[in-house]
């Protein structure tokens, strides 16, 4: 009799233990249905371009970026290309030299405009590319040119010399003020900065899309790390990518924070093909 009752009681205790865990994240699909990392990976490997939308200060995002990159490499090997918002296009030569072992860590720090959390959050990705001889795209517009758009208007980019324009999407840049991502920026700023503010965001999206499309080749997969707002709702970078190459198979990952992760908030439904939901109490990277 003891044996007959012990097994069910053990199962109950195990289930209670799991129920009492505090999950670090939960993955949902585009319809808000609970999913898994395995499902995300299975679908990501079919894509030409993966836009991994992160929250810049969230350690779960950075950990999953590295894990997904590592797992995709096991499948794709040298057909995998990395790219990121966090590196500006005019730093590409120095970045290449670092990947080739020609620059020290100190020289990289001196020569490249690194983000404050580079060492903890983006250097592991760069080192992975270096170790495995993978290309890494410095995709973003140089910040000084995005600031020029914000302060003086997008027309001021026309006055730059041809050398400077190499690090920007081709001009004139198409712009749709009706896209939600740009409407939201305009409205949240209360009109401050006028159309220059959303256009300064759009020129980042357009430039990242331009360099992603430029570096993609048939049978290759590019995984690009960017703020989730740059690719949420299949707008931003994805919108511009489709202008560059409408045949690209694009897969998006979004990130959101909630008080609890057991149900995805309605306003996060559809922001990406897969959504990483993380407790808002999660620690932040510096």
The domain limits of the chain are 25-279
Helix (H, G, I), strand (E, B) or coil at 50: strand
Question: Residue 285 has what pLDDT?
Answer: 87
Under 8 Å CB-to-CB from 163, ≥6 apart: which residues?
A: none
Cα–Cα distance between 270 and 266 in angstroms, integer? 9
* CB contact at 8 A, 264 and 277: yes
- Measured CA angle at 285 (ends 134, 35), to 5 deg: 70
Query: pLDDT by residue (tens digit) across 228-239?
Result: 999 999 999 999
**Residue 48 DSSP label:** S
Query: pLDDT by residue (tens digit) across 56-112?
Result: 999 999 999 999 999 999 999 999 999 999 999 999 999 999 999 999 999 999 999
What's the mean pLDDT in 213-229?
97
What's the mean pLDDT in 152-170?
97
Nearest to 252 by CA among 279, 277, 233, 267: 233
Q: How confident is the model at residue 193 (pLDDT cuts 50, 70, 90)?
A: low
What's the mean pLDDT in 195-216?
97
Strands (E), 118-217: 136-140
Q: Under CATH, what is the fold of the domain 25-279?
A: Rossmann fold (3.40.50)
Under 8 Å CB-to-CB from 6, ≥6 apart: which residues?
A: none
Query: pLDDT by residue (tens digit) across 138-150?
Result: 999 999 999 999 9
- DSSP-assigned beta bridge partners for residue 81: 222
pTM, to two decimals: 0.92
Tokens 């580079």, residue? 118
- DSSP-assigned beta bridge partners for residue 49: 222, 250
Helices (H) and strands (E) in the chain, counts: 10, 7
């Amino acid at each position: 009799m003891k044996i007959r009752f012990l097994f069910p009681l053990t199962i109950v205790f195990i289930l209670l233990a799991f129920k009492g865990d505090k999950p670090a994240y939960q993955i949902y699909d585009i319809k808000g249905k609970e999913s898994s990392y395995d499902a995300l990976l299975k679908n990501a490997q079919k894509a030409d371009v993966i836009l991994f939308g992160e929250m810049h200060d969230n350690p779960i995002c950075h950990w999953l970026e590295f894990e997904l990159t590592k797992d995709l490499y096991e499948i794709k090997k040298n057909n995998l290309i990395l790219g990121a918002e966090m590196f500006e296009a005019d730093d590409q030569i120095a970045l290449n030299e670092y990947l080739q072992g020609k620059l020290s860590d100190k020289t990289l720090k001196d020569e490249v405009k690194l983000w404050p959390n580079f060492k903890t959050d983006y250097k592991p990705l760069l080192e992975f590319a270096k170790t495995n001889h993978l290309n890494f795209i410095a995709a973003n517009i140089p910040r000084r040119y995005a600031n020029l758009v914000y302060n003086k208007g997008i027309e001021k980019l026309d006055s730059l010399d041809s050398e400077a324009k190499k690090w920007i999407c081709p001009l004139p840049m198409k712009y749709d003020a009706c896209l939600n991502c740009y409407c939201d920026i305009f409205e949240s700023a209360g009109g401050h900065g006028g159309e220059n503010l959303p256009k300064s965001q759009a020129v980042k999206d357009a430039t990242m899309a331009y360099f992603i499309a430029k570096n993609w080749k048939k049978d290759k997969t590019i995984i690009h790390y960017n703020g989730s707002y740059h690719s949420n709702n299949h707008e931003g970078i994805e919108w511009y990518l489709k202008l560059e190459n409408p045949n690209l198979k694009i897969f998006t990952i979004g990130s959101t924070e909630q008080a609890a992760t057991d149900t995805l908030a309605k306003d996060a439904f559809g922001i990406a093909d897969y959504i990483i939901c993380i407790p808002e109490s999660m620690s932040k990277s510096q």
